[in-house]
Amino acid sequence: MPSYSFTVNGKSVTVEAPADLPLLWVLRDKLGITGPKYGCGVGVCRACTSHMDGKEIQPCAVEVADCSGRNVTTIEGLADGDKLHPVQQAWIEQDVAQCGYCQPGQIMAAVALLKRTPNPTDADIDKIENICRCGSYFRIREAIKRAAGA
């Protein structure tokens, strides 16, 4: 079985896996990183949203073979020790989470948005396509605006 080396949340890893194994399953089943959630398996619901080389990805739709030499960040890699990322802090302050299942992906999408667009408009925020079955979109919007101001 081939092996693939890349960086996850600042740590170098090497995994043996079939080339077409989705990164989501490598993260969850081989590396024990459970922040990215399985929702649809085709990159639509975006519950698994993470970053690769600083850009938003859906690991359920990225093959592990495409990760060699790359830098992957999941929700577990956002905080700096005990200091939360400003988006994580805003999520708490705005009491965004209800069930919480989609929140890691929502936060990672918001971080990517703020990296591209430091002061997003409502229209910019509306382009985030992550699904929240609890419907906490209003609080998500407020948290993103709060993080942009931080």
| Band of residue 136 on the pLDDT scale cut at 50, 70, 90 | very high
pLDDT tens, 75-84? 999 999 999 9
Share of the chain above pLDDT 90, in %: 96
The model's confidence at residue 121, banded by pLDDT at 50, 70 and 90, is: very high
Q: Scanning the structure block, which residue is given the tokens 């002061």?
A: 119
Q: Spell out the domains of the chain, with CATH numbers in brackets.
A: 3-77 (3.10.20.30), 86-149 (1.10.150.120)
- Mean pLDDT of all residues in 38-46: 96
**Global pTM value:** 0.95
For the chain, first and last CA: distance in Å? 46
Q: 66: phi > 0 → left, psi -120 to 50 → alpha, else beta; which?
A: alpha
Q: What is the model's pLDDT at position 10?
A: 97
144: pLDDT strictly greater than 90: yes
Mean pLDDT of the residues in the chain:
96
Q: Is the pLDDT of residue 150 over 90?
A: no
What does the pLDDT look like over 86-117, one tens digit per residue?
A: 999 999 999 999 999 999 999 999 999 999 99
Per-residue burial over 21-30, b = 16 or more CB atoms within 10 Å of its CB, e = otherwise? bbbbbbbbee
pLDDT band of 59, cuts 50, 70, 90: very high
- Cα 17 to Cα 25: distance, rounded to the nearest angstrom: 10
Paired tokens of 125: 């925020």
Between CA 56 and CA 124 the distance in angstroms is: 15
Question: How many DSSP H helices and E strands does the chain contain?
Answer: 5, 5
Give pLDDT tens digits for 10-36.
999 999 999 999 999 999 999 999 999
Q: What is the pLDDT of residue 110?
A: 98
Task: Match 């942009």 to its residue by tokens.
Answer: 148
- In the structure, what pLDDT confidence band is assigned to residue 8 with cuts at 50, 70 and 90? very high
